[in-house]
Structure 1
Amino acid sequence: MWLLNRIYAAEEESLEIPVDAEEFLKRYKNKEHEFAGINLAGAKLSGKCFNHGFILNLSGANLKGAELCETNLCSANLSGAKLNNANFYKARLESAKLEKAKLIKTNLNSANLGQANLSEANLSEACLSHAILFKANLNKTNLSRANLQNASLREANLRMANLNDANLSNAILFGTNLEGANLEGANLQQALCNTATIFPADFDPVKAGVYLIAPSASLKGANLSSINLNEADLREANLSRANLSKANLQIARLLQANLSEANLSEANLTCANLTAANLSGANLNQVNLKDANLTAANLSKANLKNAQISKTNFSGANLIEVNLVGARLLGNLSGATLHKANLCGAYLGSVNLSGANLTSADLRGANLEGANLEKANLKDANLSGAILKNTKFSGAIMPDGTTHE
C-alpha cells in the first residue's frame, strides 16, 4: 500500500511538464492568463507583478518551493494550488482565491492577504507572522502549528478553523470570528480583542492572556509595544505602567485614561484625545503629539524630551516638573501648570502661555519670541539667556515677583 501511494504521488507530481520562470513570464507578457495546473515548482518570481487588468488563473498549479517575495498576485486564482514551502514574504495577495490550497510550511511573513479566500486551505506550520488578514475567509482552514504572531486578523472569518498549537501571540483579533475554532494548545498571550470578537463557547480569553481593548479596560503593565491601536477606544482604561513604546495610537480615544508611569517613547499619538488623562511620570520621549488634545491632562513629572509637539492642546494641563528640554512647542498652553518644569532650550515662539503657571520653571536659553505670557506667573523662573523678542508680558508676574505693566 505504501509503495502504491508513492507511485500515485509520483504520477501526480509528473502530470505537468515543469515550466521555467522565463517561459512563464514570456507567456504572461503575451497576455496569456490561463495557467491552471501549470508546474512552476521552484520558480523564481520574486518582485513580479501579475495584476494587469485580468485575473491570473493558477488554480491547481504546482508552485512548491517557489520564490514569490514581494510578488503582486492580487485577485489571482490559486484555488487548490500546491504552495508548500513557497516563499511569499511581503507578497500582495489581496482578494486572492486560495480555497483548498496547500500551503504547508509556506512563508507568508508580512504578506497582505486582505479579503483573500483561504477557506479549507491547509496552512499547517505556515509562517504568517506580521501578515495582514483583514476580512480574510479562513473558514475551516487548517492552521495547526502555524505562526500568526503579530498578524492582523481584523474582521477575519476563522469559524471552525483548526488552530491547534498555533502561535497567535500579539495578534490583532478585532472583530474576528473564531466561533467553533479549535484553539487547543494555541498561544494567545498578549493578543488583542475587542467587544466584537467572537471566541469559541468554551474558551476563556482572559485566562489565555488576551487583552481586551475597550473603554474601562484593565491593561495595567501590559506589553503593547509597537502595536497598532489606530482609532482605538480606550476611554477610562487603566494603562498604568504599560509598555506602549512605538505604538500607533493615532486618533485614539484616551479620555480620562490612566497612563501614569507608562512607556510611550516614540509612540504616535497624532490627533489622539487625551482629555483629562493621567500621564504623571510617563515616558513620552520622542512621542508624536501633533494635533493631540491634552486639555486638563496630568503630565506632572512626565518626560517629554524631544517630543513632537505641534498644534497640541495643553490648555489647563498639569505639567509640574515636566521635562521639556529642547522641545519644540507649537500648541496651546494657556492656563497650563508648568511649576518647576524644565524648558531649557525649548522653542516656545508665538506659543500661547497666557495665564500659565511657570513658577520656578527653568527657561534658560528658551526661545519665547512672540510668545503670549500675559497674566502668566513667572515668579522665581530662570530666564537666563532666553530670547524674549516681542514677548507679551502684560499683567504677568515676573521672576522677581513684580507685575509687568
Structure 2
Amino acid sequence: MAWTTWVTLMGFVGLAALALLVAGPAAARTVPGAIAAITSRLALVAVVVGVLAVPAVLTDLAHGASQSGGYDYSAAWNSLYDGSNDGRLSGLEVTFSLVGAALLAPLTLRTVAAGRARRWLLGAGLAAGTVALGSTRFPDKTPDNWGRTVFETLMWMLHLIGGGVWLGGLAGLVVIAALGAVPAAERGAFWSAAIRRFSVCAMSCVAAIALSGLFLYWEHVDGPTQLVTTMYGRVLGVKILIFGGLLVLGVFNQFWLHPRIDALRAAGDQRPLATVLLRRFPVVVAVEVLLGLAVLFVAPFLHGSARNQAYQADLAKHSASATVDAKQLPKLAPKTAGGSTWAWGTVETIAVIAVMAGGYRLSGRLAGRRAAAAAGVPAADPGDLVGA
C-alpha cells in the first residue's frame, strides 16, 4: 500500500515535470507538430496516476484506522481535515492530488495541449503535485527546534522531488516511446534534444538525492557497520545497491548511448544502427524504471533509525529482565551538527555538484566529437586558433 502511494504521488510529479521541462521544449525545437500529441499522452497518464493516488492514500489510512487489521474507509475519510495536524496533512495529500489531476485533465485534448495554456496548466499541476508529495513529510506537530526541522524537511523535499522528477521522468520517456507520439522521420532529432534536456534534470535530481541521502545517513546511521548489524541498515543497504544500479545505467546512457544517438542525428539518421540505438534506449530506460520501482518498494521498510536499533539492542542484551519491550527502551538524542559536520557537508556538496557538472560537460564533448565525425567535419581543437 505504501509502495502504491509513493509510485502515484512521485509518478505524477515526474510526468508533469517531464512534459513541462523536457518533452515540450524538445518537441518545440525539433518537431513542433508533435507537441500536442506528446503533451496529451503524458497528461493522460499523469491524470490517471493522480486520480489513483487518492484511493491509494485512503487505503493506507483505512488500514491504519482499522482496529482489526482490516480497512476502515469510513474512519479514513473522516480523518481528513479532522482538526488534527495529521488530518490536515492527509487532507492536503488527497486534495492536491485531485487538484493536480484536474489541472492536467484539459491537456488530454490536443486542441488545448497545442495552445498557450499548456505551460500554465502543466506548471500549476506540477505545483499541486509537489504539495501533495511534500505533505507526506511536512512536520505533524509544532517543532521544538525550528531550524533543524526546517532543514530536515528541506532535505526530505529534495529527496522526494528529486526521486519523483527522475523516476517519473524515466517512466514518461517510456510512455512517449511506447505510444509513438513522435513521427518516425523526426524521432532521431527529437530524442537527441529530449535526452540532453532530460540529462540536465536527471543529474540535478541525482545530486539532490545524493546530498539529501548523505544527510539522512548521517542522521540515522553511526558508521558503516550498522548497515549490516541493524534492520534499518540492511534495508538501507539494499536501497543503496539498487540506487547504484540506477546510476550505472545512467552512466551508460550518458556516456555511451546518448553520444551515439547525437552522432546518428548528425549523420542523417539513415544507417541501420540508428534503429538499433533508438530501440535500445527505451529498453534501457524501462529497466531503469523497474529499478526505480524497486527502490520505492524497499523505502517503506525504513522505519526508525539504525542508531536507536543498535543502542536498544545493546541495552536489551545487557538487561537483567528475560523479556524486554522494545517500545519501552530509551532512544538516543538526535545528533547535533558541529563545525566539522558543516565542513564535511560543504565539501560533499561541492564534490557532488562538481562531479555532476563535469560529467554532463564531458558527455556533451563526447557527443559533439561523435556528431562531428559522423557528419564528416573534423572536431575543432580548443587550442587551435584557426579551428576556433
- TM-score, normalised on structure 1? 0.22
Q: Which has the higher contact order (CA 8 A, sep 6+)?
A: 2
More strand by share: 1
Rg (Cα) greater in structure:
1
